[in-house]
Amino acid sequence: MGNDVDLRKLRYFLAVADEGNFTRAAASLHIAQPVLSRQIQSLERELGGPLLIRHPRRLELTPAGRRLLTDGRRLLASAARLADDVRGLATGLHSLTVGHHRAVPIRQAVLAFQRAHPGVEVTVVPLDHDSEIRAVLRGAVDVAVVCLPLPPEGVATTVLRREPTMVALSTAHELARRQVVTLADLAPFERARFHDAGPGGRPLRDADDRLDLLASSSAVHLAPALVARRYQHPDIRFIPVSDAPPTPVLAVWDGARDPRLVADFTSAALDVYDAMDGNAQPAGPVPGAGGGAPGGGGGRHPVARLSEADGILGA
């Protein structure tokens, strides 16, 4: 057994641990599943023992695997910082990778950041709703702009904007003719379940598929107003929910990483979102949930606790 840890294999292991499934991990890494399996087996041989217990329908981390998961994240983040620093010294350039959900507009924020930092190479990566936070924790993106009803665990956040909350429902639904509804109006109806509605009980990720499912049911789905602007469907209505807390648009990053460029990007994004038209509410400090802004001591803003199952529409 050697003393070196292959960072590529470590990244593969983190993907498997995060996804809990070799097939999904291979898809997220854009490699074949047999290749991924061989790389994990090779890593286990190099480290002298099993990292995963392979059950028929799930994976379980061994004690060694749990330790590698925790320390491996820090190691990859440190390696990414080192590569960025050395690249910046060698070329005079630095890089920033920005992830975002497809429904969240970030083009103007990226352009504003690039005007202030012409020497920084910016890469924009669209993210699935289910993978946004994992991408941040794995170091696949430096910062992600997302819209979530619950504050994510294990990351630092700041609120860029607050979106009015709407309900998506079928045009055949008994509430479809209403101009506005309340949470009490929605209480009798089942919430749409996308996380196990796909073939074989897998998550339903595509936005059109989710809307088709919603259009053919009596279920309802809470979503921020930006989703209504981004996604249209002839058999779906979006109706304002008058007493639902607004849903924040968040900048999310790994607080363990160097926040300098993240802080500058977040500042540019705040300026852009503050200037946007529409009914969104400005970001502002509200006492509540811990966390902080990059490079500063502000608190994380609390997020509307609508439901654990309420995810933003989209893939």
* The pair of three-digit structure tokens given for residue 128, joined into one six-digit string: 């699935």
* The pair of three-digit structure tokens given for residue 36, joined into one six-digit string: 């991924």
Compute the average pLDDT of residues 241-263: 85
Q: Give Cβ neighbours of residue 227 (< 8 Å, ≥ 6 apart).
A: 103, 147, 166, 168, 238, 312, 313, 314
* First vs last C-alpha separation in the chain: 41
Q: Give Cβ neighbours of residue 30 (< 8 Å, ≥ 6 apart).
A: none
Q: Which stretches within the chain are classed as H helix?
A: 7-19, 22-29, 33-47, 63-91, 107-116, 132-137, 183-186, 207-215, 225-230, 260-275
Q: Is the pLDDT of residue 164 over 60?
A: yes
Q: Which CATH class is domain 93-315?
A: alpha beta
Between 153-157, 168-172, 215-219, 266-270, the lowest mean confidence (pLDDT) is in 153-157
- Band the pLDDT of 135: cuts 50, 70, 90: confident
Please state, in angstroms and rounded to a whole number, the distance separating the CA atoms of residues 119 and 203.
Answer: 40
Please state, in angstroms and rounded to a whole number, the distance separating the CA atoms of residues 9 and 14.
Answer: 9
Q: Is the pLDDT of residue 171 over 90?
A: yes
Please state, in angstroms and rounded to a whole number, the distance separating the CA atoms of residues 81 and 72.
Answer: 14
Please state, in angstroms and rounded to a whole number, the distance separating the CA atoms of residues 237 and 255.
Answer: 39
What is the structure's pLDDT at 299?
31
Compute the average pLDDT of residues 30-57: 92
What is the structure's pLDDT at 201?
55
Instruction: Count how many residues are written for the chain.
Output: 315
The answer regarding whether domain 7-70 maps to CATH 3.30.420.40 reads no
pTM: predicted TM-score of the whole model, two decimal places: 0.60
Cβ atoms of 161 and 249 within 8 Å: the answer is yes
Residues 61-99 have pLDDT tens digits of 999 999 998 888 888 877 877 777 676 666 555 788 999
What is the structure's pLDDT at 65?
93
Please state, in angstroms and rounded to a whole number, the distance separating the CA atoms of residues 42 and 128.
Answer: 29
* The pair of three-digit structure tokens given for residue 284, joined into one six-digit string: 């502002």
With 0-12 / 13-18 / 19 or more C-beta atoms within 10 angstroms meaning exposed / middle / buried, residue 58 is exposed
List Cα–Cα distances, 300 to 152, 270, 286, in angstroms: 11, 15, 8
Please state, in angstroms and rounded to a whole number, the distance separating the CA atoms of residues 213 and 192.
Answer: 9
CA atoms within 13 Å, Cβ hemisphere of 223: 28
181-190, 201-210, 250-259, 274-283: range with highest mean pLDDT: 181-190
Please state, in angstroms and rounded to a whole number, the distance separating the CA atoms of residues 169 and 215.
Answer: 7
- Band the pLDDT of 109: cuts 50, 70, 90: very high
List Cα–Cα distances, 167 to 139, 211, 237, 250, 295, in angstroms: 33, 12, 8, 20, 36
SS3 1: coil
Residue 95's H or E segment, with its range, is strand 94-101
* The pair of three-digit structure tokens given for residue 156, joined into one six-digit string: 């630092």
Domain boundaries, the chain: 7-70, 93-315
Q: Is the pLDDT of residue 276 over 80?
A: no
Cβ atoms of 225 and 279 within 8 Å: the answer is yes
What is the structure's pLDDT at 132?
82
